[in-house]
């Protein structure tokens, strides 16, 4: 799909001049260098003010156009409480009076105008004088490119790109479907890999493409998820304190460089998910906070507008223009960057007015409750708008509470997300595997409880960046025991994850057993792959990913009750679990056996859903995975012995700390 720059001839309106000070510099009269011009129609204004304009990026901000035979840039900014607005930049020596914008006559609060003879690459800000006399220099909320931090100015740019990912886009509905395999590699661009010549230097979007794509293809992940790549002034925020919502971070290159990365991923059948942060924004003076001298984007009352956890500011979801801004931003990344999904950050903090607040620190809703009704309404509208425009993408909620219907359609009363992070599964699983295996029998229900509610939502199983920072230890060092047991435990946990119902998400480095906590300032420890335990871990995750993608029983019914069945759930004494995953076809079943202790279990009988010949198609204890290579019969036949509620069964020798995946096969067939 090709995105082309469009030059439009839009009729001029009759805006009110910005005021007498725009007509003088150093008390000398001048002609205002800004031409009265508008790209906004009356219908645009109506949609904007009613919160229904979902493509504001086509109207507000800066746009290079041709007007009456002259090329220049049209500027438009929403600042309803300003008494004066001008464009300042290198082109006018940052003179606050030289290029004053015109305020529209329709009380929309939009200031606009056309400045001839400036174009792409021009650095600028808006100078705003509030009605109270406060003078501010603000970056453009709709800017498509920003200067590289710590500089904070906006840059006139465009999103023109000649896309060549047509095949992916036409077939994306299949790759993104809830009935398809969905295995996500979560990554932070600045610390996945640094320049080998200079570890302090970021790799750009194009260099990352060269290194990332072969790795993802080898490992078998279906999607990558980039932690926020929208422009953010403070690198240690990991991107979650966004200032430039419409700008790809200039730390790694231009917007077109990011488009190239996404395009190359698509051409290699890899989907792209972006972290999106509509929950809060930083209080940097150059950005959204008190944009026109008043609390324009945020609530004025800190009990509603200030986030105590992140020391940031909460969007006013009840303000229509703010809703238009946020939903336009979501649509922007899906439209202009061909993104395949948005993972929405901190949804729980949006849903509840008392989130992380003590009594007296929050304001109840109009019914006296704790739910944020405006945020709930906004999230529903966001999902409806996204799926109406792009029915083949996914929205994914990071939501940690029991709020009902997060991933259920809006028309049934849900929030409308495609998926929800299964935070309960993550917490219970990690706590269980942190236990010394000798104690696991006392915590058996912790590892089985997730299936009680596994199908109440469309869940994604996340082992994310949040679990390997701030003293929580790396994933490998959460595991108990000596070196061999640590790696065996982690391989076993990943086997459990990939065979549990739901989509999958694994943070970068976890796939090879990164030993140190994630550090945003350093590359991952790729040298660890020179050592057998880490190489084996990587091979095990690779094997699980490829098996997950090839065995439809593991994904066709990931979100349906009849896609899963316990065979043995009560053997807490030996800490063994046996369960079945089912595909659409009645005979398409896999049996998973997990031995959660370092004690081998010889002659362990398991029930089987069908008679016939069975084969071990995955064994986390294989020597190639740095396993023990415990003697295990690779194929066997069922016996007509009723066991664990099944008419057929078989006896296996279970290796220590091992996950096995079994599949029925035709022994007489040439190919299995």
Active site residues: 345, 398
CA distance linking residue 378 with residue 410, whole number of Å: 11
Tokens 């940690």 locate to: 400
Collapsing DSSP states into helix, strand and coil, what is residue 448?
A: helix
DSSP one-letter string for 617-628: EEETT-GGGT--
Tokens of 670: 């040439």
Tokens 């300042």 locate to: 88
Instruction: Provide φ and ψ at 331, rounded to 5°.
Output: -65, -35
Tokens of 391: 């029915």
CA distance linking residue 144 with residue 120, whole number of Å: 10
Task: Show Cβ contacts of residue 171 under 8 Å, excluding neighbours closer than 6 positions.
Answer: none
First to last CA, the chain: 40
Residue 510 near residue 463, CB atoms below 8 Å: yes
CA distance linking residue 398 with residue 509, whole number of Å: 21
Helix 532-550 with 205-219: angle, nearest 10 deg: 70
Which residue intervals of 72-165 are DSSP H helices?
none
Task: Show Cβ contacts of residue 376 under 8 Å, excluding neighbours closer than 6 positions.
Answer: 351, 415
CA distance linking residue 59 with residue 44, whole number of Å: 8
Q: Which residues of 111-124 are buried (b: 16+ CB within 10 A; e: fewer)?
A: bbbbbeebbeebbb
**β 183-187/576-582 pair status:** unpaired
Collapsing DSSP states into helix, strand and coil, what is residue 560?
A: coil
Tokens of 360: 């007296």
Tokens of 413: 């009363």
Tokens of 537: 């871990």
Tokens of 13: 């309106």
Count other C-beta atoms under 10 Å from residue 13's C-beta: 17
């Amino acid at each position: 799909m090709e995105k082309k720059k469009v030059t439009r001839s839009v009729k001029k309106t009759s805006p009110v001049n910005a005021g007498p000070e725009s007509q003088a510099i150093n008390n000398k009269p001048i002609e205002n260098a800004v031409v009265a011009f508008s790209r906004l129609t009356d219908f645009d204004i109506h949609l904007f003010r009613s919160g229904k304009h979902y493509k504001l990026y086509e109207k507000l901000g800066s746009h290079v156009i041709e007007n009456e035979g002259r090329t220049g840039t049209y500027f438009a900014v929403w600042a309803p409480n300003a008494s004066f607005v001008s464009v300042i930049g290198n082109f006018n020596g940052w003179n606050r009076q030289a290029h004053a914008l015109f305020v529209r006559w329709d009380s929309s609060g939009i200031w606009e105008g056309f400045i001839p003879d400036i174009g792409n690459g021009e650095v600028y800000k808006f100078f705003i004088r509030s009605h109270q006399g406060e003078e501010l220099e603000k970056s453009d909320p709709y800017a498509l490119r920003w200067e590289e931090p710590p500089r904070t100015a906006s840059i006139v740019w465009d999103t023109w790109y000649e896309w060549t990912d047509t095949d992916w886009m036409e077939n994306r509905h299949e790759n993104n479907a809830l009935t398809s395999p969905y295995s996500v590699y979560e990554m932070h661009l600045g610390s996945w890999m640094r320049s080998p010549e200079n570890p302090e230097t970021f790799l750009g979007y194009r260099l990352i493409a060269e290194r990332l794509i072969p790795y993802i293809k080898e490992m078998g992940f279906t999607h990558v998820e980039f932690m926020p790549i929208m422009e953010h002034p403070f690198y240690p925020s990991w991107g979650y304190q966004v200032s430039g919502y419409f700008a790809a971070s200039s730390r790694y290159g231009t917007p077109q460089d990011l488009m190239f990365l996404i395009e190359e991923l698509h051409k290699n059948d890899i989907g792209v998910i972006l972290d999106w942060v509509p929950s809060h924004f930083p209080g940097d003076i150059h950005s959204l906070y008190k944009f026109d001298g008043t609390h324009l984007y945020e609530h004025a009352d800190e009990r509603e507008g200030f986030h105590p956890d992140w020391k940031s500011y909460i969007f006013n979801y009840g303000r229509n223009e703010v809703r238009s801004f946020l939903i336009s931003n979501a649509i922007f990344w899906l439209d202009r960057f061909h993104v395949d999904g948005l993972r929405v950050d901190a949804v729980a903090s949006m849903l509840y007015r008392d989130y992380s607040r003590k009594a007296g620190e929050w304001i109840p809703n109009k019914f006296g409750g704790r739910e944020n009704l405006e945020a709930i309404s906004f999230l529903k509208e966001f999902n409806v708008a996204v799926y109406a425009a792009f029915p083949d993408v996914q929205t994914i909620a990071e939501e940690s509470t029991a709020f009902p219907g997060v991933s259920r359609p809006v028309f049934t009363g849900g929030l409308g997300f495609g998926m929800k992070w299964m935070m309960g599964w993550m917490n219970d699983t990690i706590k269980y595997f942190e236990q010394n295996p000798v104690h696991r029998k006392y915590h058996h229900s912790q590892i089985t409880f997730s299936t009680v509610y596994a199908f109440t939502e469309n869940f994604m199983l996340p082992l994310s960046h949040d679990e390997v920072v701030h003293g929580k230890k790396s994933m490998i060092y959460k595991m108990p025991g000596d070196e061999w047991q640590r790696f065996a435990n982690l391989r076993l946990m990943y086997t459990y994850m990939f065979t549990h119902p739901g989509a999958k998400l694994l943070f970068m480095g976890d796939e090879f057993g990164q030993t140190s906590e994630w550090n945003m300032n350093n590359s991952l420890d790729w040298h660890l792959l020179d050592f057998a335990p880490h190489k084996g871990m990587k091979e095990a995750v690779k094997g699980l990913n490829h098996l997950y993608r090839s065995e439809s029983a593991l994904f066709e019914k990931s979100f349906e009750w009849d896609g899963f069945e316990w065979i043995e759930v009560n053997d807490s004494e030996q800490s063994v679990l046996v369960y079945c995953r089912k595909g659409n076809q009645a005979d398409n079943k896999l049996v998973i056996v997990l031995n959660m202790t370092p004690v081998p279990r010889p002659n362990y009988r398991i029930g089987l859903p069908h008679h016939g010949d069975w084969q071990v198609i995955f064994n986390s204890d294989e020597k190639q995975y740095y396993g023990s290579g415990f003697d295990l019969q690779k194929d066997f036949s069922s016996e007509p012995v009723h066991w664990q509620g099944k008419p057929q069964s078989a006896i296996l020798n279970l290796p220590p700390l091992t996950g096995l995946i079994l599949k029925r096969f035709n022994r007489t067939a040439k190919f299995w």
